[in-house]
Amino acid sequence: MNIVVLDGYCLNPGDLDWEGFRTLGNLTVYDRTPAAQIVERQGDAEAMLTNKCIISREVLDALPGLKYIGELATGYNNIDYVYASAKGITVTNIPAYSTESVVQHVFALLFEIVNKTSMHAASVRQGDWVRSRDFCYYEKISELSGKTIGIIGYGRIGRRVAEIAEAFGLNVVAYNKGKSGAAGVKGKLVSSLEELYRVSDIVSLNCPLNAENAGMINKAAIDKMKPGVILINTARGGLINESDLAEALWEGRVAAAGLDVLGKEPPLSDNPLLAAPRTVITPHIAWATTEARRRLMKIAEENLRAYLAGAPINKIN
């Protein structure tokens, strides 16, 4: 079998290896593939591995030899998997590989906001502590204990966020569409987003993006939140109306935002959140710890191996 990796760099910038796939066939790895070169590079190879390349109906029609697409991520909205299924192409994804890494990043963003660690550390490096008249100095910092975190999306990641939040003394409420009741030792599932917005000091987005919730964090939603709420998003940038959030940050209705994802990635230079105050933005790295990427690589290999053995796993179509 001929195997082509179209965009392997973000998964493996050089610290991992592709050797497991070389045992399964003839492997060609491209760091990045422009849309115009997808068909040419895939050629008549039977297996494709990709993360963000758009595999449209037109691309699929141009690749009659394609039998297998391995999505190198959990989300697969870049692939027309329904049409792939109609053409007899198996599509797999990578479930549950990054839970611990994403949850860790939720709290990395949150701690940066409430403790301002990097700002204080930069100040020390600039000599401010050496010149200080006092033994310490600080911008406003605050405790998490006793505050309420509202978690939107209560799957694997949301539940793990709740567990860690409780360990820091946070009260937990969560919203999972169509569900209510117990959510944990201290937390509860609320029946509406309005209730979650009303009681939460911190709102963490941990839900998938779909047609129903695109742009859900908009002016109307923010107006229902506590004044001075903190917003954390490690899910998908499309959940947020970025202009509305930027406006709320400038006006002080939102105290701070910690964002690992934006609506367009890489962002355009005029994205309003890039200049908004009290905003911590990281370049979509919550998933990318070495351990999580190693798990992803192993699962992707196992997916292809199972397909070749005639018993596909982690199929999405």
We report the CATH number of the domain holding residue 128 as 3.40.50.720
Both 82 and 220 in a single domain? no
Catalytic residues: 236, 265, 284
Q: Are residues 40 and 173 both part of a single domain?
A: no
My answer on whether 7 and 90 are in the same domain is yes
Residues 209 and 295 in one domain: no
Task: Tell me which residue has tokens 């990045």.
Answer: 32
Is the residue at 114 inside a domain? yes
Query: Looking at residue 186, what is its pLDDT?
Result: 57
What pLDDT is attached to residue 188? 85
Q: Which of 67, 65, 62, 42 is nearest to 53 (CA)?
A: 42
Do 111 and 48 lie in one domain? The reply is no
Q: Is residue 314 assigned to a domain?
A: no
Q: Is residue 91 part of a domain?
A: yes
Phi, psi of 27 (to 5 degrees): -105, 135
Rounded CA separation 150/159 (Å):
11
**Pairwise CA distance, residues 84 & 177, whole Å:** 29
135 and 58, same structural domain?
Answer: no
126 & 61 share domain: no
CB-count burial class (<10 Å; 0-12, 13-18, 19+) for 147: middle
Residue 245 sits in which domain range?
Answer: 99-281
Residue 315, in any domain of the structure: no
Q: Residue 185: what pLDDT?
A: 47
Q: How many domains would you assign to the chain? A: 2
Distance (Å, whole) CA 79 – CA 262? 20
What is the per-residue pLDDT for 317?
A: 84
- Name 90's bridge partners: 68
On whether residue 6 sits in a domain, the answer given is yes
Q: Are residues 277 and 156 in the same domain?
A: yes
Q: Are residues 196 and 179 in the same domain?
A: yes
Q: Please tell me whether residues 114 and 250 are part of one structural domain.
A: yes
User: Does the residue 260 lie in any domain?
Assistant: yes
Whether residue 108 is contained in a domain is answered as: yes
Q: Residue 75 forms beta bridges with which residues?
A: none
Q: Is residue 170 part of a domain?
A: yes
Same domain, residue pair 71 and 190: no
Q: Are residues 128 and 272 in the same domain?
A: yes
Q: Which tens digits make up the pLDDT trace of 183-196? A: 554 568 999 999 99
In which residue ranges of the chain is pLDDT below 50?
A: 185
pLDDT at 177: 86
